């Protein structure tokens, strides 16, 4: 034993609940950890492990021994220890030696001791009986990374939790406290690498001027066993070097990358490696010189090899200028077409990072067929924690149930059982490397992702990357217990909300595998069905008056289905077997086609949108049952998001149903689509100052129109007379919150002011559309016949206080 330390338990101090501590709150600990901490080594990770256990302790009994297996063996030769621990794998054991109670927190290596410490704390915090613990756990794969798409100017591409914790004004931020806290969160779920800059990389990241700043990030990561990696721009030898080429086979280019890599390792000896997005969405790549992706990857991999670094090459390569008129073109084919022919040509320390689906992080996609084709190439699976296409953290969408479907999907490579998680981790084909990468994009918001409930996705990503066999529900329960406490009601309600949320989100957005149906040309947020069509981006859905869906069959379509191994290809090619949830991803079908469910496609669309939007109305009501059981701040913040989501789910429902009703001409058998009882369109109200505007796309506003206040008097009104029966009603108003100003609104009935508010939400749009549409409900209003309902709007800056409708629900 090098030395022993005794930590006093930290007094539990009442702290404000901002969400910053995420699941590491250390508030609820029914079982105590022992107090005496015997630390057997002095590495950064073992020091961090010992401190973390001290930080988590509540009351005191016995001793915790923190060290590697070797150190424990030397100190306690009589203890029987496991012999099958893999790198980073850990062992937790409560035992008695010579009458003394010991709790062993150990691993074959220092980072593993840290994972052991966090696992031990997790058992305490979730209420497990730690005094019976005897647990061995090995990670499923060696690469368990997150990517951050942070730009050096401090913005984050597809980030919804505030500005970068790493960068600002083209420099690393002075205060890296949040970066260190982030590394601690990552380590607590076993994540061991973080790429800190956007894959759309700014070449400045590699300059000799900038690298010393990056060193500071690596330093705050180091105690947590999180290795830093950088995204690189392939043209760097030309843009920041003095070369006139970036041809991967040119000896000067090879030399440039080697010298740059040497420089990095002199500064950051534990540097993890590079991530490269090349020849994709306008990024420079090997195609400029007629070279292959493998040649590009190997150039960097070879430079990293002497240091044990790895190169991750993004498999997200496609032509975003594809001709939509050619029915054989298909973006879904791109990853496989680009990389399958190169299988076996990548260096041993290179990996291809494959997005889970063949398009781009949609709410539902089939598994990418490339995953089954990389039999002689290392790969990582790319999942997206930041909810780019799944509600941008404004909508609750717990992604672990979707990820589980992907991870467990059996691709049947060679006709044998080959689940995705085993393919990507390298188990199936005994690859030296493999793993999981999550695009996280946390930001400076106190609660990291902009939403407390969205943090379940970051947590779940880490837990699944370590152990893909965990169920989405057990992960959710574990997360809730640590995040909100172990009260049974809290655990049950929050777990259920999380577990239902993905299907609900899918239900009111894109059905039957069509993709999310969001605006793919701009924010990827609100509905805009036709934005998918008639452009080069290739997210086509091929909708017309008769039918919808991409024909990707081998028989008559793009042949995409033929990229799967035969068993899976058969499943998707055959309409009898193709699952409903993906049928329009694989086939073009008439709206009248009858699904396995017995419903026609068109009726399924109406039904699923009405059912899911109704389910979303229940979310805030279910959350309200937790009042008093959760701290006020997080209770209110979550409620606010769920109420917004309930309204936006109706915006989605109406947009999708209206569009399909018009396109197909087939009415909703239940009579709902296109009929909005109690709704008065703003354009048909009595208007003072307001002018009528067409909304684009038309389906994003009721009746395709809204009214905007562009009056020089700076105050407009829209009113109508209520002709219903007297009594209590709920009133919903649909207004727009545009970026560039905070308009003010007031709604009144007669001389009763019902609500007065400012549109303070910041959506990334200056247009009236489904991104900026907000539906607000004012419950329990007493109305009399002939009451005049008046909305008053006061514009501010670029926000014209626009409204779409008012709906009175009796
Ligand atoms: C970082 C999608 C996103 C882009 C992202 C790209 C990628 O197209 O919309 O923002 O770029 O994927 O994964 O490289």
Q: Tens digits of per-residue pLDDT, 460-519?
A: 999 999 999 999 999 999 999 999 999 999 999 999 999 999 999 999 999 999 999 999
Element (H, E) at 743: none
Atom of ligand 1 lying closest to residue 314 CA: 14
Provide the pLDDT for residue 424. Answer: 98
- Identify the H or E element spanning 645: helix 632-664
pLDDT attached to residue 73: 94
Other beta carbons within 10 Å of 786: 10
CB 336 within 8 A of CB 342: no
Q: Please give the backbone phi and psi of residue 6, each rounded to the nearest 5 degrees, phi first.
A: -115, 120
Quick one: angle between helices 44-56 and 110-125, nearest 10? Answer: 10
Residue 143 has pLDDT above 50, yes or no: yes
Regarding the beta carbon of 200 and ligand 1, being less than 6 Å apart is answered: yes
Tell me if 318 CB under 6 Å of ligand 1: no
Q: Is the CB of 149 under 6 A from ligand 1?
A: yes
Strands (E), 540-668: 547-548, 589-590
Ligand 1 site-directed mutation target among 360, 382, 521, 531, most atoms within 8 Å of CB: 360
Say if CB 420 and CB 406 are below 8 A apart: yes
Instruction: Tell me if residue 412 falls in helix, strand or coil.
Output: coil
Whether the bond between 445 and the residue before it is cis, its omega within 30 degrees of 0, is no
pLDDT of residue 5: 41
513: Cα separation from own chain's centroid: 19
Atom of ligand 1 nearest to the CA of 280: 14
158 in contact with ligand 1, CB cutoff 6 A: yes
Q: What is the pLDDT of residues 395-427, one digit of tens each?
A: 999 999 999 999 999 999 999 999 999 999 999
331 lines ligand 1 (CB under 6 A): no
20, 16, 17: which is closest to 455 by C-alpha? Answer: 20
Q: Which pLDDT score, from 0 to 100, does residue 6 have?
A: 38
Q: Which atom of ligand 1 is nearest to the CA of 200?
A: 1
Residue closest by Cα to atom 11 of ligand 1: 200
pLDDT (0 to 100) of residue 14: 34
260 C-alpha to ligand 1 centroid (Å): 26
- Per-residue pLDDT reduced to its tens digit, 537-546: 999 999 999 9
User: How far does residue 199's CA lie from ligand 1's centre (Å)?
Assistant: 8
Q: What DSSP string runs through 463-492? A: HHHH-TTS-HHHHHHHHHHHHH-S-HHHHH
In this structure, of 116-130, 175-189, 275-289, 683-697, the range with the lowest mean pLDDT score is 116-130
Q: Express each pLDDT in 168-186 by its tens digit.
A: 999 999 999 999 999 999 9
Which protein residue's CA is at the shortest distance from atom 13 of ligand 1? Answer: 316
DSSP class per residue in 7-71:
PPPPPP------STTTT------SSPPPSEEEE----HHHHHHHHHHHHH--S--SEEEEEEHHH
Query: What percentage of the chain has pLDDT greater than the value 90?
Result: 90
Q: What is the mean pLDDT of the chain?
A: 94
Q: Is the pLDDT of residue 637 over 70?
A: yes
Q: Judge if the beta carbon of residue 199 lies within 6 A of ligand 1.
A: yes
* Residue appearing with tokens 């669309």: 605
| 219-247 tens-digit pLDDT | 999 999 999 999 999 999 999 999 999 99
CA of 149 to the centre of ligand 1 (A): 9
The alpha carbon of 210 and the centre of ligand 1 are apart by a number of angstroms equal to 25
Does 250 contact ligand 1 (Cβ within 6 A)? no
**Ligand 1 centroid from CA 389, angstroms:** 11
Smallest CA-to-CA distance from 229 within 165, 275, 292 is with 275
Tokens of 86: 């893999």
**Nearest Cα residue to atom 2 of ligand 1:** 360
CA atoms within 13 A on the CB side of 363: 29
Query: Both tokens of residue 312?
Result: 């991750």
pLDDT at 61: 60
Tokens of 755: 């609500």
pLDDT for 34 beyond 90: no
As a whole number of angstroms, the distance between CA 764 and CA 642 comes to 20
Place of tokens 């309902």: 789
The residue whose two tokens read 């091929």 is: 542
Predicted TM-score (pTM) above 0.85: yes
According to the model, what pLDDT value does residue 517 have?
Answer: 96
Tell whether the model's pLDDT for residue 711 goes beyond 80: no
Task: Point out the ligand 1 atom lying closest to the alpha carbon of residue 149.
Answer: 1
Look at residue 532 in the predicted model and tell me its pLDDT: 95
Q: What is the pLDDT of residue 590?
A: 98
**pLDDT tens-digit series, residues 316-345:** 999 999 999 999 999 999 999 999 999 999
Pick the atom of ligand 1 nearest to 388's CA: 9
Centroid of ligand 1 to alpha carbon of 246 (angstroms): 23
**What is the spatial distance between Cα 737 and Cα 801, in angstroms, rounded to a whole number?**
7
Compute, in angstroms, the gap from residue 390 CA to the centroid of ligand 1: 14
24-to-35, 187, 292, 375, 685 alpha-carbon distances in Å: 19, 11, 45, 39, 52
Ligand 1 pocket member 336 (CB < 6 A): no
Does 11 score more than 70 pLDDT? Answer: no
pLDDT at 3 over 70: no
If you write DSSP's letter for every residue of 417-454 in order, what string do you get?
Answer: --BHHHHHTTTTTT-S-EEEEEE----SSTTSSS-TTT
**What does the pLDDT read at residue 62?**
65
The residues assigned a catalytic role are: 281, 360, 388
Distance from residue 331's CA to the centre of ligand 1 (Å): 14
Q: Closest ligand 1 atom to the C-alpha of 198?
A: 1
Burial (Cβ within 10 Å: 0-12, 13-18, ≥19) of residue 11: exposed
Q: How many residues does the chain have?
A: 810
Q: What are phi and psi of 30, to 5 degrees?
A: -60, -35
Q: 488-508 and 632-664 are packed helices; what angle lies between their axes, rounded to 10 degrees? A: 20
- Burial classification of residue 675, based on how many CB atoms lie within 10 Å of its CB (0-12 exposed, 13-18 middle, 19 or more buried): exposed
The residue behind tokens 């031990």 is: 120
Spatial separation of the C-alpha atoms in residues 390 and 399, rounded to whole Å: 9
Give the separation between CA 199 and CA 180, rounded to whole angstroms. 22
Instruction: Compute, in degrees rounded to 10, the torsion defined by CA atoms 239, 245, 251, 255.
Output: 0
pLDDT at 16: 61
| Radius of gyration for the alpha carbons in the chain, expressed in angstroms and rounded | 28
Q: Which two tokens stand for residue 354?
A: 């494959």
């Amino acid at each position: 034993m090098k030395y022993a330390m005794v930590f006093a338990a930290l007094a539990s101090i009442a702290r404000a609940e901002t969400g910053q501590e995420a699941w590491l709150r250390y508030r609820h600990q029914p079982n105590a950890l022992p107090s005496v901490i015997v630390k057997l080594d002095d590495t950064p990770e073992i020091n961090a492990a010992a401190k973390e256990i001290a930080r988590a302790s509540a009351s005191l009994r016995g001793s915790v021994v923190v060290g590697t297996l070797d150190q424990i063996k030397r100190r306690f030769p009589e203890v029987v220890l496991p012999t099958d621990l893999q790198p980073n794998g850990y062992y937790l054991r409560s035992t008695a030696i010579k009458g003394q109670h010991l709790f062993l927190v150990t691993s074959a290596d220092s980072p593993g001791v840290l994972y052991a410490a966090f696992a031990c704390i997790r058992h305490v915090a979730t209420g497990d009986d730690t005094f019976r613990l005897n647990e061995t756990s090995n990670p499923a794969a060696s690469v368990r990374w997150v990517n951050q798409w942070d730009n050096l100017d401090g913005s984050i591409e597809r980030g919804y939790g505030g500005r970068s914790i790493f960068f600002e004004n083209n420099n690393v931020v002075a205060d890296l406290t949040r970066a260190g806290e982030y590394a601690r969160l990552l380590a607590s779920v076993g994540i061991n690498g973080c790429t800190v800059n956007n894959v759309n990389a700014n070449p400045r990241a590699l300059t000799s001027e900038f690298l010393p700043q990056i060193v500071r990030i690596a330093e705050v990561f180091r105690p947590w066993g999180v290795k830093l990696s950088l995204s690189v721009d392939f043209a760097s030898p030309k843009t920041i070097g003095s070369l006139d080429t970036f041809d991967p086979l040119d000896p000067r280019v090879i030399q440039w990358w080697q010298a740059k890599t040497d420089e990095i390792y002199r500064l950051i000896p534990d540097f993890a490696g590079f991530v490269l997005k090349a020849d994709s969405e306008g990024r420079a790549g090997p195609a400029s010189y007629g070279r292959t992706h493998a040649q590009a990857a190997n150039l960097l991999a070879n430079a990293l090899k002497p240091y044990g670094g790895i190169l991750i090459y993004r498999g997200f390569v496609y032509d975003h200028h594809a001709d939509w008129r050619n029915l054989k073109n298909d973006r879904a084919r791109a990853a496989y077409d680009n990389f399958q022919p190169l299988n076996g040509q990548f260096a041993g320390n290179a990996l291809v990072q494959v997005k889970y689906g063949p398009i781009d992080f949609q709410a539902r996609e089939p598994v990418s067929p490339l995953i089954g084709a990389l039999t002689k190439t290392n790969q990582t699976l790319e999942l997206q924690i930041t909810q780019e296409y799944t509600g941008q953290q404004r909508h609750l969408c717990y992604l672990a149930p979707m990820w589980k479907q992907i991870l467990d999907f059996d691709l049947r490579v060679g006709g044998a059982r080959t689940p995705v998680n085993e393919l990507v981790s390298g188990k199936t084909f005994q690859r030296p490397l493999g793993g999981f990468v999550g695009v996280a994009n946390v930001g400076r918001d106190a609660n990291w992702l902009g939403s407390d409930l969205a943090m379940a996705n970051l947590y779940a990503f880490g837990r699944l990357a370590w152990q893909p066999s965990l169920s989405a529900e057990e992960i959710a329960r574990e997360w809730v217990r640590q995040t909100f406490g172990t009260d049974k009601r809290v655990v049950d309600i929050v777990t259920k909300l999380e577990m239902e949320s993905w299907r609900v989100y899918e239900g009111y957005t894109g059905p039957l595998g069509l993709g999310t149906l969001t605006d793919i040309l701009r924010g990827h947020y609100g509905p805009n069905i036709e934005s998918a069509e008639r452009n080069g981006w290739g997210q086509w859905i091929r909708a017309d008056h008769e039918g919808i869906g991409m024909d990707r069959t081998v028989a008559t379509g793009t042949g995409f289905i033929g990229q799967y191994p035969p068993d899976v290809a058969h499943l998707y090619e055959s309409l009898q077997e193709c699952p409903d949830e993906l049928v329009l991803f694989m086939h073009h079908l008439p709206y009248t086609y009858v699904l396995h469910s017995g419903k026609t496609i068109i009726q399924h669309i109406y039904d699923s949108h009405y059912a899911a939007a109704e389910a979303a109305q229940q979310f805030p009501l279910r959350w309200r049952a937790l009042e008093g059981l959760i701290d006020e701040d997080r209770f209110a913040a979550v409620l606010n998001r769920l109420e917004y989501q309930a309204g936006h789910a109706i915006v989605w429902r109406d947009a999708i149903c209206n569009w399909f009703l018009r396109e197909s001409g087939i009415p909703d058998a239940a009579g709902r689509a296109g009929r909005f009882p109690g709704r008065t369109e703003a354009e048909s109200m009595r208007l003072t100052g307001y002018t009528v505007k067409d909304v684009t796309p038309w389906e994003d506003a009721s009746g395709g129109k809204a009214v905007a206040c562009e009056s020089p008097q700076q105050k407009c009104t829209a009113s109508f007379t209520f002709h219903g029966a007297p009594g209590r009603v709920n009133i919903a108003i649909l207004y727009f919150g545009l970026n560039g100003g905070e308009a003010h609104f007031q709604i009144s009935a007669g001389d009763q002011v019902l609500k007065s508010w400012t549109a303070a939400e910041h959506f990334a749009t200056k247009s009236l559309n489904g991104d900026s549409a907000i539906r607000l409900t004012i419950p329990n209003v007493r109305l009399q016949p002939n009451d005049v309902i008046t909305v008053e709007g006061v514009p501010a800056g670029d926000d014209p206080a626009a409204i779409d409708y008012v709906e009175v629900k009796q």
